[in-house]
Amino acid sequence: MKRTILVTLLAAIVALGVVAQEARPDGFLKQYQLPSTLKYLPAPPDTLSAAFFNDYYRYQWGRSLRPTPRGLEARADSTWQMDVIGRFEAAYGMPINAQATPELYKLAGKVLTDMAHSTDEAKNYYKRQRPYAHFNQPTLIPESEETLRNNGSYPSGHTAMGWGLALVLAEINVARQDQILERGYQFGQSRVIAGYHYQSDVDAGRLAASAAVARLHADEGFARQMQKAKEEFARLTAK
């Protein structure tokens, strides 16, 4: 009986591991292959600088939008990893999932992983305190506050994921590039509205994503999957 229970538990653990792996696929690049954010990004603004005054101004701007429809959008944008894709479907103009667009979905998942890692180096080095922790004020998403309280604020990983995905999607669906890039920009601004990032964190996140996407274009695996996604898009739009 005990052996049966143990086997069942082990099977469940393995199954959970498979689900987690599917939810967060490997990226195209290893960490060491990504551009070093410590080499090309400046340090986050000092609290006595004019740049930090702008961060504070934008923080208050974000707080003012929380009770509005834009605040609801910012809360919806707090999603992570593969769920980020769904926030871009309307701008892209068609579903992006494993059934409707399997090649694009595979591409997007791996790109999101690379974008998430693109900010790790600077995050871990600077360990900038998040605005809600610095000002000791609540956020738009209170259930995530304790989890992210000690996670570095600079650069914004959410922003890097949104902007990097937007750059890739805009390259595939050129006719909707403006809508896609607007969605990518606003995805980052949602982090300011939510109170989880300063504006300078978001700006740096976009730079990190742009550098990472540029590096992806030199990777053969990315190039092959991008071509598959473009061919899939051509077939779907031809119909």
Domain ranges of the chain: 26-238
In this structure, the chain runs to a length of 239
Catalytic site residue from 58, 130, 183, 197: 197
217 is catalytic: no
158 is catalytic: yes
Give alpha helix (H) positions in the chain: 2-23, 37-40, 50-65, 69-76, 89-92, 102-118, 120-126, 131-135, 145-148, 157-172, 177-194, 199-216, 220-238
Grouping H, G, I as helix, E, B as strand and the rest as coil, residue 142 is helix
Catalytic site residue from 55, 77, 114, 201: 201
Q: Which two tokens stand for residue 88?
A: 């871009």
pLDDT digits (tens, 9 = 90+) for 13-35: 334 343 333 456 899 999 999 99
Domain 26-238 top-level CATH class = mainly alpha
Catalytic site residue from 117, 158, 176, 183: 158
pLDDT digits (tens, 9 = 90+) for 99-111: 999 999 999 999 9
Distance in angstroms (rounded) separating the CA atoms of residues 60 and 81: 28
pLDDT digits (tens, 9 = 90+) for 34-48: 999 999 999 999 999
66 is catalytic: no
176 is catalytic: no
